[in-house]
């Protein structure tokens, strides 16, 4: 259910409504705007009786049932777009955000050279894996704590925000100490123990769509994180598994506008994993900007032929610089459209 309070409802009225909700056995999750408070209601109980009671409660403008199975992340719960703050950046706001870096942190020279290169080219965040989920147990698994320390050193040198993957609920506290944003990879999208732990980690989460997951399943995973206390979730379309073999995955570009209709959460595109081929990354990146994504997360390596993972889909530093130059007309148009959308809502 959603309870929309009247504009400028008093604190006493809001607290009274929350107490009535709890009396019916539900949990409360509220979003406070400048003029209005919206209260989300989740749990098991007598919905009809609760709605009827709340509609008659002082300060309530409207009480309604949410039809979507995902409550807090739905457009029904919050009409305006959420803006997630990460290291001074507003993801989902008026700036198009580019996160770039290698699949894996390999050594100090590699990560420092990459960080300096992508920062000069215009990236605002550095991506790099310290813990790596690999299909084969014999592949490189990441530098773990050493990798996290190298990412911190790169941030200190460049000012770039750090996004890195967390694989286990046991590692959440450690990764949160070093990361500005924590990435939940496609293989862990439905790791429910990890999702619950990320709900209390105190860091924004970039949630990648699973290899064979529906959009509804992605949103339900986001709901786990938000329902457990963390509203700062960014969704990521990274390609899905289909019958096609020409690319590593199939880029579901339509997922971006679909998600923009269904949820208030920001949406970014991962063209690297969606294609699996370096040559296709710039075109998919342009498509991501044009179709309304809030940002990109791109794999970049100074020497892709020497990369221990995902070299075939990683742009060179020169390739990334060229792509960023080519993206600028698209980003300028994106900003104009975003400004018009903001004005229309206001």
233 and 99 share a domain? yes
182 and 282 share a domain? yes
> Lowest-pLDDT range, 132-136, 214-218, 279-283, 331-335?
132-136
The SS3 assignment for 267 reads strand
Model confidence pLDDT, tens digit, residues 258-286? 999 999 999 999 999 999 999 999 999 99
58 and 92 share a domain? no
309 and 221 share a domain? yes
225 and 171 share a domain? yes
Is 305 a member of any domain?
A: yes
Give me the chain's average pLDDT, please. Answer: 93
89 and 189 share a domain? yes
Is 231 a member of any domain?
A: yes
State the pTM of this model: 0.90
Is 149 a member of any domain?
A: yes
19 and 130 share a domain? no
Is 122 a member of any domain?
A: yes
Work out the average pLDDT over 98-112. Answer: 97
Answer for the pair 256, 296: CB distance below 8 angstroms, yes or no: no
Answer for the pair 210, 186: CB distance below 8 angstroms, yes or no: yes
120 and 56 share a domain? no
125 and 220 share a domain? yes
**CATH code for the domain in which residue 172 is found:** 3.20.20.70
Distances in Å between the Cα of 285 and the Cα atoms of 80, 133, 210, 306 are 25, 25, 20, 24
Answer for the pair 318, 283: CB distance below 8 angstroms, yes or no: no
Look up the domain containing 9 and give its range: 2-64
Is 70 a member of any domain?
A: no
% of the chain at pLDDT higher than 70: 96
Model confidence pLDDT, tens digit, residues 12-55? 999 999 999 999 999 888 877 666 788 988 888 888 889 999 99
CA dihedral sign of residues 122, 125, 129, 133: negative
167 and 243 share a domain? yes
**CATH code for the domain in which residue 53 is found:** 3.30.70.1140
Tell me which of 64, 93, 115 is where a domain ends. 64
Is 77 a member of any domain?
A: no
45 and 109 share a domain? no
Is 198 a member of any domain?
A: yes
% of the chain at pLDDT higher than 90: 81
Is 76 a member of any domain?
A: no
CA distance 228 to 99: 26
Q: How many domains does the chain have?
A: 2
CA distance 346 to 343: 5
137 and 42 share a domain? no
């Amino acid at each position: 259910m959603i309870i929309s309070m009247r504009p400028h409802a008093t604190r006493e009225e809001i607290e009274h409504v929350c107490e009535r909700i709890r009396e019916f056995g539900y949990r409360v999750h509220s979003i406070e705007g400048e003029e209005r408070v919206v209260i989300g209601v989740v749990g098991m109980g007598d919905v009809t009786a609760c709605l009827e009671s709340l509609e008659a409660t002082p300060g309530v403008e409207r009480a309604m049932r949410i039809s979507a199975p995902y409550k807090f992340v739905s457009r029904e719960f919050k009409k305006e777009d959420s803006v997630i703050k990460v290291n001074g950046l507003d993801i989902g706001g008026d700036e198009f955000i580019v996160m770039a870096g290698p699949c894996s942190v390999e050594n100090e020279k590699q990560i420092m050279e990459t960080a300096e290169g992508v920062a000069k080219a215009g990236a605002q965040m550095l991506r790099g894996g310290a813990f790596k989920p690999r299909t084969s147990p014999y592949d490189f698994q990441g530098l773990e704590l050493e990798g996290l320390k190298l990412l911190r050193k790169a941030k200190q040198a460049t000012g770039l925000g750090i996004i890195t993957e967390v694989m286990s609920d046991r590692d959440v506290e450690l990764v949160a100490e070093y990361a500005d944003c924590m990435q939940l990879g496609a293989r862990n999208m439905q790791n429910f123990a990890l999702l619950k732990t990320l709900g209390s980690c105190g860091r924004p989460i970039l949630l990648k769509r699973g290899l064979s997951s529906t959009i509804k399943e992605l949103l339900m995973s986001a709901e786990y994180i938000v329902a457990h206390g963390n509203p700062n979730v960014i969704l990521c379309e990274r390609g899905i598994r289909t019958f096609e073999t020409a690319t590593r995955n199939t880029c579901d570009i339509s997922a971006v506008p679909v998600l923009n209709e269904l949820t208030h959460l920001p949406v970014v595109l991962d063209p690297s994993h969606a294609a699996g081929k370096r040559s296709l990354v710039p075109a998919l990146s342009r498509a991501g900007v044009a179709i309304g994504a809030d940002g990109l997360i791109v794999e970049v390596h100074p020497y892709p032929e020497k990369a221990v993972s995902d070299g075939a889909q990683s742009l060179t530093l020169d390739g990334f610089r060229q792509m960023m130059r080519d993206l600028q007309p698209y980003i300028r148009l994106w900003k104009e459209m975003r400004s018009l959308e903001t004005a229309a809502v206001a």
